[in-house]
Amino acid sequence: LQLEEKFLHPETREVNGILMAKMISDNWDKIWNFQAKPDDLLIATYAKAGTTWTQEIVDMIQNDGDVQKCQRANTFDRHPFIEWTLPPPLNSGLDLANKMPSPRTLKTHLPAQMLPPSFWKENSKIIYVARNAKDCLVSYYHFSRMNKMLPDPGTWEEYVETFKAGKVLWGSWYDHVKGWWDAKDQHRILYLFYEDMKEDPKREIEKILKFLEKDVSEEILNKIIYHTSFDVMKQNPMANYTTWPTSIMDHSISPFMRKGMPGDWKNYFTVAQNEEFDKDYQNKMAASTLTFRTEI
Ligand code: A3P
């Protein structure tokens, strides 16, 4: 329990104006100096945008649809979460990444401007997944309730304001999606949308295949689509985060695999909250060519 106390509702601190767990900010020099390799694949997202889903798709592709190989370990251990820092003897993302043989698949929630520069220098491939703000907010709210490694979200009303102000871990959703949108014009980045993946998983998985320069048979493609569907992943202990102790993630409060549906925000936003949210959204997003669908 003593060990857990160190990271349950951890202290937070800003790094370059972005809110981080203090354990990450204390480790920032090491994270910033992380050495990426040309054959690394990085899955980058804002929290709750469909990271785990994309990780499972990528793992299935890399293992030619071999479900057993994809069950060799839970998501967290298969793809090191580079900035995630835990007290020893637990494995931090950097330790896992440094121990992992190449080619590595890594995960990050860092905003583009805070990505360790070696990723750009080595021209590593990056898949970025974006999800509309309202569904991200709802998902992040419930995740913050069940995951004791995140700050307490407070009430729903409070959380809506916290999210709009970007005072959540990894900072502003608005800046994150825009920053990576701009970065994609200069780097090897496949920019995907959660809503598109939900609408037509086959089409989006084919984009990933092409980006990874991989080819699979129709049979394997169908297997990947099936194995990475919400209902199947929800039952997969290696993909649904149920191997973590309930003192850290309490799925009885809200399961990690919660709903997986675009448009769930309508069940949470009041009409007034929605109007205010939209107004603020226009201000923050007006200058960008980036557009989202809030339902499909
Ligand atoms: P909800 O809370 O809206 O259900 P991340 O992996 O980035 O933390 O994102 C988690 C969100 O992705 C959760 O959203 C989760 O249910 C959803 N998700 C995970 N696997 C999915 C899948 N196979 N299909 C659709 N959504 C999925």
Query: What is the tens place of the pLDDT at every residue in 66-114?
Result: 999 999 999 999 999 999 998 888 889 999 999 999 999 999 999 999 9
- For residue 257 and ligand 1, the question of a CB distance below 6 A is answered with yes
Ligand 1 atom closest to the Cα of residue 229 is 23
Q: Compute the mean pLDDT over every residue in the chain, rounded to the nearest whole number.
A: 96
| Mean pLDDT, range 40-69, rounded to an integer | 98
User: How far away, in angstroms, is 246 Cα from ligand 1 center?
Assistant: 19
Question: What was the pLDDT predicted at 86?
Answer: 87
Cross-strand pairs, 44 = 108, 128
Indicate the pairing of strand 125-130 with strand 189-193: parallel
Ligand 1 atom closest to the Cα of residue 233 is 23
* 126 CB-contact burial (10 Å; exposed 0-12 / middle 13-18 / buried 19+): buried
Q: Decide: pTM greater than 0.90.
A: yes
- pLDDT at residue 288 is higher than 70: yes
User: How far away, in angstroms, is 121 Cα from ligand 1 center?
Assistant: 31
User: How far away, in angstroms, is 122 Cα from ligand 1 center?
Assistant: 30
Query: Is 251 in the active site?
Result: no
User: How far away, in angstroms, is 296 Cα from ligand 1 center?
Assistant: 16
Which residue in 79, 109, 176, 227 is the catalytic one?
A: 109
227, 240, 258, best to mutate for ligand 1 pocket (most atoms within 8 Å of CB) = 258
- For residue 27 and ligand 1, the question of a CB distance below 6 A is answered with no
Ligand 1 atom closest to the Cα of residue 56 is 23
Task: Write out the chain in H/E/C secondary structure.
Answer: CHHHHCCCCCCEEEECCEEEEHHHHHCHHHHHCCCCCCCCEEEEECCCCCHHHHHHHHHHHHCCCCHHHHCCCCHHHHCCECCCCCCCCCCCHHHHHHHCCCCCEEEECCCHHHCCCHHHHCCCEEEEEECCHHHHHHHHHHHHHHECCCCCCCCHHHHHHHHHCCCCCCCCHHHHHHHHHHHCCCCCEEEEEHHHHHHCHHHHHHHHHHHCCCCCCHHHHHHHHHHCCHHHHHCCCCCCCCCCCCCCECCCCCCCCCCCCCCHHHHCCCHHHHHHHHHHHHHHHCCCCCCCCCCC
Question: What was the pLDDT predicted at 173?
Answer: 98
* Per-residue pLDDT tens over the stretch 192-219: 999 999 999 999 999 999 999 999 999 9
- For residue 254 and ligand 1, the question of a CB distance below 6 A is answered with no
